[in-house]
Copies of this chain bind each other. A is one copy, B any other.
Amino acid sequence: MPRYSLGFDFGTESVRVIVVDIRDGRVAGQAVEAYAHGVIDETLPGSREPLPPDYALQHPQDWLDSLASACKAAVKQSAAAAEEIIGIGVDFTSCTMLPCRGDGTPLCLVDEFKSTPLAWPKLWKHHGARAETQRINEVARQRNELWLARYGGSIELEWFFPKTLETLNHAAQVYAAADLFIEAGDWLVWQLCSGPYPRCDVNELVRSTCQAGYKAQWNAQTGYPSREFFRAVDPRFENVVAEKMRGDLRSPGRKSGGLRADAAKRLGVREGIPISAAIIDAHAGVPGAGVASPSTMVMVLGTSSCHMMNSRTEVLAPGIAGVVEDGILPGYFGYETGQASVGDAFAWFVERFGLSHETLSRDAAKLSPGADGVLAIDWFNGCRTPLMDPNVSGAFIGLTLATKPEQLYRALIEATAFGVRWIVETLRESGVPVRRFVASGGLPQKNPLLMQIYADVLNEKIALAASDQSVALGAAILGVLAAGEEVTGYAQVSQAIHAMAHQREDLVYRPDLQARKEYDKLYALYRTLADPAGPVTAVMRQLRGHGSA
């Protein structure tokens, strides 16, 4: 009997469901369904009142409705029999979070709050909590909070507690009415496996160590930040953890519960299927890229880039966005680092100047390392790792009257490669070994020039994830782990991963000796400009005061 696992992959605009053969990772069925309301950033549903410019919200019913459609379609396509589906894994954007009642009802669906923007789920890229982020970082530094070191010295605008504190500050009645603030991925899993219908039971609520660890400063040894810390931030915030954060913490791959009857009916599958604790979408890309072993960096290259790695070593390194025990896979310290704009910066260039990626890539490929004399800084959306500084910005240096657009384009690609190298060096210098590289995400397939430049700049071979849906595949693998050895036959996490996910064998990018030498020199120049204590970054920060937004 073939057996299948379902991967539910909740993105920013749509949910993807894949039905995967657990023996070999073959995708037997798949479907994508867009959210009816998409990203809510202009007006609330049923309202004509404009939202503030920093807002990005979602509709929780969209997640359930789109999932039901996509799941039924994917299962139908797979022709899997009901009993052949043995597990479910869920990945979700993060930190996407919402306030809800103790029975799981989102406050935005309660009449009293449906016109209050901050009662709605905040999407990861909701940027309303600038002041709150600053406050939390200030107080944490004043108090020398030990957890700061696990996040490279500061937390970010898009994380969980800034968003929660924003609600307290700007919609105190919503904060008061909320029994829970919860990650959307955890809420979704809870909706699928806790009952009785139509409510959920707060005693059955499971939160993911991944979301909690990377976005809410939770740690396996010490839990969330202390009550004293939150009181110092704001006396009204003192009991946020005790009052609003109930839930059992489990790592991705551990079972949260079994699919409840009404949900099974809506999804068109059988009741009771084991469901894994949720995982952040990018992080699902690690098992989805076929990586089970430590010290292999999975580079998810897309509009932004996320570089993740499991390690047996825990090091609190300056500039590393997050180190979380059991954060990605059970038994390892999961490291997350990131670059805030990669494909986004290329798209900016293409759109602002009306040129095509195809033409630019073709012409850029003819240039030598160094883009014939142009050097860029890639911080078009600030620098995540290692500077953790949203106020630095992008730059081009070396322009002449003969400079052509393809030089700027290539310089941008090279700058993102220098950014990766800096991250790798930061890890290694901190004592975290980085031995192998696997690329996934949208860019590697589309942009071979970029991949070759990354190999040259890193002076490393780079393999490619075989699946073009490695995130959804990673979620499905977590479903296999949740189902357990008795059902799947996989005694080890690594067995399931190696059976179901791979790297391409037909294409590996290898460094070119001559290019590597050139890039060594250029990287030194990049680091000179990017010096966090140097004049360029100082000017960038001051210019931010002259900018709009």
Contacts and interface: CB of A to CB of B under 8 A. Distances in A.
Interface of A: 341, 344-345, 348, 352-354, 368-370, 372-375, 380-381, 393-405, 518, 521-522, 525, 528-529, 531, 534-536, 538-540, 542-544, 546-549
A281 to B, nearest CB: 21
Query: This chain: how many copies in the complex?
Result: 2
Q: What is the predominant secondary structure among interface residues of chain A facing chain B? A: mixed
B352 A354 contact: no
B539 A531 contact: no
Contacts of A534: 535
Contacts of A369: 546
Nearest to A371: B546
B548 A539 contact: no
Contact of A399 (B372, B393, B539): B393
A540 B370 CA distance: 12
Contact of A345 (B354, B401, B538): B401
Given A525-B539, A535-B536, A544-B373, A549 B402 contact: yes
A97 to B, nearest CB: 24
A540 to B, nearest CB: 6
Contacts of A402: 548-549
Contacts of A344: 401
B399 A394 contact: yes
A397 B354 contact: no
Nearest to A402: B549
A348 B401 CA distance: 6
A546 B547 CA distance: 33
Contacts of A522: 546
A415 B525 CA distance: 23
A372 B393 CA distance: 13
Given A396-B396, A528-B535, A538-B528, A403 B543 contact: no
A341 B403 CA distance: 14
Contacts of A368: 546
A163 B67 CA distance: 75
26 contacts: A352-B404, A354-B354, A372-B546, A372-B547, A373-B543, A373-B546, A373-B547, A373-B548, A393-B398, A394-B399, A395-B397, A395-B398, A395-B399, A396-B399, A397-B539, A398-B543, A398-B544, A400-B547, A402-B548, A521-B546, A525-B539, A525-B543, A528-B538, A529-B536, A531-B535, A534-B535
